[in-house]
C-alpha cells in the first residue's frame, strides 16, 4: 500500500517539477516573439533602421564569386534585395543601389575579435 501511495505522490508531483525546469537557451527573447505591434526596444530600432548586412563571401581568386547575407537572404553580386541591387561587395561592407541612390551597409563587429587582440 505504501508503494502505491509513493508512486501516486511521484505522479502527482510531476507537473510541479516540469514547471521548474530550466528555460530553453535557444529560445528567442520575448521581444522577438511578441506580435509586431507590441514590440518595443532595440529589436524595433534594428528593424526600422533598414537592411542589415550579416556576412560577406569574397572569393580569393580574381573574378571569383561575391555574395552577401542581408537580412538572412543570400544575395549574389547583381542580385536584388528589398528593391535595391547589390552593386559592390567588399570584405567588410556592401553597396546597394536604388535608382541613383547608393547605400553602404557595413558589417557590425560582435566585439569578440577586439577581445582576442592583446
58 and 107 inside one domain: yes
106 and 62 inside one domain: yes
Model confidence pTM above 0.75: no
**Alpha-carbon separation of residue 112 from 25, 58, 60, 92, 106 (angstroms):** 20, 21, 24, 16, 17
- Read off the pLDDT of residues 15-52 as tens digits, 9 standing for 90 and up: 655 556 677 777 777 776 766 655 555 544 445 568 88
Q: Encode 43-56: b = buried (16+ Cβ within 10 Å), e = exposed.
A: eeeeeeeebebeeb
Identify the band that residue 117 occupies on the pLDDT scale cut at 50, 70 and 90: very low
CA angle 81, 108, 92 (to 5 degrees): 70
Number of domains in the chain: 2
- Read off the pLDDT of residues 67-92 as tens digits, 9 standing for 90 and up: 999 988 999 999 999 899 999 999 89
56 and 78 inside one domain: yes
How close are the terminal C-alpha atoms of the chain, in Å? 68
Percent of the chain clearing pLDDT 70 (strictly above): 68
Identify the band that residue 106 occupies on the pLDDT scale cut at 50, 70 and 90: very high
Range of the domain at 54: 50-116
24 and 55 inside one domain: no
19 and 34 inside one domain: yes
72 and 40 inside one domain: no
Amino acid at each position: 500500500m505504501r508503494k502505491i501511495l509513493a508512486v501516486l505522490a511521484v505522479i502527482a508531483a510531476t507537473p510541479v517539477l516540469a514547471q521548474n525546469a530550466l528555460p530553453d537557451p535557444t529560445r528567442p527573447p520575448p521581444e522577438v516573439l511578441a506580435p509586431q505591434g507590441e514590440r518595443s526596444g532595440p529589436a524595433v530600432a534594428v528593424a526600422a533602421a533598414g537592411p542589415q548586412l550579416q556576412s560577406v563571401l569574397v572569393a580569393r581568386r580574381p573574378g571569383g564569386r561575391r555574395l552577401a547575407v542581408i537580412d538572412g537572404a543570400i544575395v549574389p553580386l547583381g542580385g536584388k534585395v528589398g528593391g535595391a541591387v547589390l552593386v559592390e561587395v567588399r570584405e567588410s561592407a556592401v553597396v546597394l543601389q536604388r535608382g541613383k541612390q547608393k547605400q553602404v551597409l557595413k558589417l557590425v563587429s560582435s566585439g569578440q575579435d577586439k577581445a582576442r587582440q592583446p
